[in-house]
């Protein structure tokens, strides 16, 4: 079956349609139409039928196939019928089409950026949208504000056929993942990962290999994933950051992140590589 491709855009087309998709948020939750165990984003016609006024922080996102995509924040959401719901994006993993979920991640970051950059951070003057760019500019001092993006690195550490996995106190019960942390000023991605692994579990690593990247809208990150090899050190979890950490063989793994996440793809790909190399 042919899958529609999303083509990002900034300039709104001259013509819109009742079938256009609307990614509408209220207090960080997305308006979706529930259909059993799945969900979908409403089109403009459905939005009007629900009586949702999506007029604040309104932006064009691009096209998904033949349908334009818009995002906005809802004003005082009305009482919704049972089939329409406000849902956090994490709760939509596995319910919303993955391409649509990725667009929703873009959408919430655009809405939150617009909502928090209404005034200039230098002189306090009201800002205005810049034509042709995703930016708000101060007419008084010309300071431009673009959507915030925080680079973060993730590293899956290997010790032969074993994987170093850890869990944060805020993870779902029993779930472990690769280590991760935000890039600090003046750091390379490689330096960040070495520092984070050292701080969080007391382990030294080497031979970092790039795996892939994924936009991660929790709240506004770009996750860059690596595989690395163990050098030395005993696991010592960082208090307050790491609840537990251990070496796991690929036949005795704990609960892992959702398949949509880059963490799970990183782990699955490394497991496959280890299994392929096994005698």
Ligand-binding site membership of 19 (annotated): no
Ligand-binding site membership of 75 (annotated): no
The pairing of strands 179-182 and 150-159 is antiparallel
Nearest Cα neighbor of 74 from 52, 59, 48 is 52
Which helix (H) or strand (E) segment holds residue 272: the answer is: helix 262-277
Ligand-binding site membership of 25 (annotated): no
3-state secondary structure of 239: coil
Ligand-binding site membership of 173 (annotated): no
Ligand-binding site membership of 146 (annotated): yes
Ligand-binding site membership of 275 (annotated): no
Q: Rounded to 10 degrees, what is the CA torsion of 271, 159, 162, 246?
A: -130
Ligand-binding site membership of 200 (annotated): yes
DSSP state of 91: G
Ligand-binding site membership of 113 (annotated): no
Ligand-binding site membership of 215 (annotated): yes
Ligand-binding site membership of 218 (annotated): yes
Ligand-binding site membership of 221 (annotated): yes
Ligand-binding site membership of 44 (annotated): no
Ligand-binding site membership of 263 (annotated): yes
Contact 84, 50 (CB under 8 A): yes
List alpha helices for the chain, DSSP H: 44-50, 98-116, 189-201, 262-277
Ligand-binding site membership of 171 (annotated): no
Ligand-binding site membership of 43 (annotated): no
Ligand-binding site membership of 196 (annotated): yes
- Which burial class, exposed, middle or buried, applies to 192 when counting CB atoms under 10 A from its CB (0-12, 13-18, 19+)? buried
Contact 171, 242 (CB under 8 A): no
Distances (CA, A) of 253 to 53, 216, 247, 275: 47, 24, 9, 14
Nearest-angstrom CA–CA distance, 170 and 275: 31
Contact 199, 191 (CB under 8 A): no
Ligand-binding site membership of 245 (annotated): no
Ligand-binding site membership of 138 (annotated): yes
User: From start to end of 105-190, where are the E strands?
Assistant: 128-129, 136-137, 144-145, 150-159, 162-167, 179-182
Name the binding residues for a divalent metal cation: 180, 196, 200, 241
Name the binding residues: 90, 120, 123, 133, 138, 141, 146, 180, 196, 200, 214-221, 241, 263
Name the binding residues for substrate: 90, 133, 146, 214-221, 263
Name the binding residues for Zn(2+): 120, 123, 138, 141
């Amino acid at each position: 079956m042919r899958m529609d491709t999303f083509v990002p855009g900034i300039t709104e087309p001259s013509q819109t349609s009742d079938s256009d998709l609307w990614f509408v948020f209220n207090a960080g939750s997305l308006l979706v139409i529930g259909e059993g165990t799945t969900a979908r984003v409403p089109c403009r016609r459905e939005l009007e039928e629900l009586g949702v006024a999506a007029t604040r922080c309104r932006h064009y996102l691009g096209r998904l196939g033949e349908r334009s995509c818009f995002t906005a924040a809802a004003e005082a959401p009305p009482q919704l019928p049972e089939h329409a719901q406000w849902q956090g994006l994490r709760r939509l993993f596995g319910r919303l089409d993955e391409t649509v979920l990725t667009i929703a991640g873009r959408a919430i970051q655009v809405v939150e950026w617009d909502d928090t950059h209404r005034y200039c951070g230098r002189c306090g003057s009201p800002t205005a949208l810049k034509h042709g760019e995703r930016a708000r500019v101060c007419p008084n001092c010309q300071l431009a504000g673009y959507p915030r993006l925080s680079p973060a690195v993730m590293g899956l550490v290997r010790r032969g056929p074993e994987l170093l996995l850890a869990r944060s106190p805020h993870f779902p019960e029993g779930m472990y993942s690769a280590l991760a942390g935000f890039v600090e000023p003046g750091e390379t991605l490689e330096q960040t990962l070495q520092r984070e692994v050292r701080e969080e579990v007391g382990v030294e690593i080497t031979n970092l290999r790039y795996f892939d990247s994924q936009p991660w809208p929790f709240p506004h990150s770009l996750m860059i994933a690596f595989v690395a090899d163990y050098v030395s050190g005993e696991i010592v979890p960082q208090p307050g950051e790491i609840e537990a950490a251990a070496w796991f063989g690929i036949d005795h793994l704990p609960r892992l992140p959702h398949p949509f996440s880059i963490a799970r793809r990183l782990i699955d790909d490394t497991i496959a590589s280890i299994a392929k190399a096994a005698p």
